[in-house]
Amino acid sequence: MTGHDDHDHGRTFQPDHPEPTSDAALVGLALRELLIEGGHYTAEEELAVIAEMQGASPENGGKIVARAWTDPEYKKRLLINGKDSIKELGFDLEPYEFTVMENTDQVHNVIVCTLCSCYPRALLGMSPAWYKSRNYRSRVVREPRAVLSEFGVDLSDDVDVRVHDSTAELRYMVLPQRPAGTDNWSEDDLAALITRDSLIGTQRDLSTK
Partner 1 sequence: MSEPRFSVGQRVQIADRTPPVHHRVPSYAKGHVGVVERVCGMHANPELCIRGDGKPFQRIYRVRIPQTDLWAPYEGTDGDKLEIEIFEHWLELAQ
- Residues of this chain that interact with partner 1 (CB under 8 A) are 95, 97, 99, 114-115, 141-146, 157, 160-170
Q: How far is the CB of 170 from partner 1 (least distance, A)?
A: 5
Instruction: Find the angle CA(179)-CA(181)-CA(186) to the nearest 5 degrees.
Output: 85
Report the candidate in 171, 205, 209, 163 with the shortest Cα–Cα distance to residue 60. 171
Q: How far is the CB of 184 from partner 1 (least distance, A)?
A: 35
Q: CA–CA separation, 64 vs 85, rounded Å? A: 9
Active site residue 138: no
Q: Where are the alpha helices (DSSP H) in 56-168?
A: 58-70, 72-80, 82-85, 121-124, 129-132, 134-142, 144-150
Half-sphere exposure of 13 (CA within 13 A, CB side): 17
Contact 105, 204 (CB under 8 A): no
Report the candidate in 138, 133, 104, 128 with the shortest Cα–Cα distance to residue 195. 128
Q: How far is the CB of 171 from partner 1 (least distance, A)?
A: 10
Active-site annotation holder among 85, 113, 166, 198 = 113
Q: How far is the CB of 118 from partner 1 (least distance, A)?
A: 10
- Please, which residue, 43 or 161, has the CB nearer to partner 1? 161
Active-site annotation holder among 85, 118, 166, 198 = 118
Active site residue 156: no
Active site residue 198: no
- Please, which residue, 53 or 146, has the CB nearer to partner 1? 146
Q: CA–CA separation, 8 vs 174, rounded Å? A: 43
Active-site annotation holder among 22, 57, 85, 117 = 117
- Please, which residue, 30 or 115, has the CB nearer to partner 1? 115
- Please, which residue, 9 or 121, has the CB nearer to partner 1? 121
Using CB atoms within 10 Å of the CB of residue 97, give its burial: 0 to 12 exposed, 13 to 18 middle, 19+ buried.
Answer: middle
- Please, which residue, 132 or 145, has the CB nearer to partner 1? 145
Active site residue 149: no
Q: CA–CA separation, 120 vs 60, rounded Å? A: 11
Please list the active-site residues: 113, 116-118
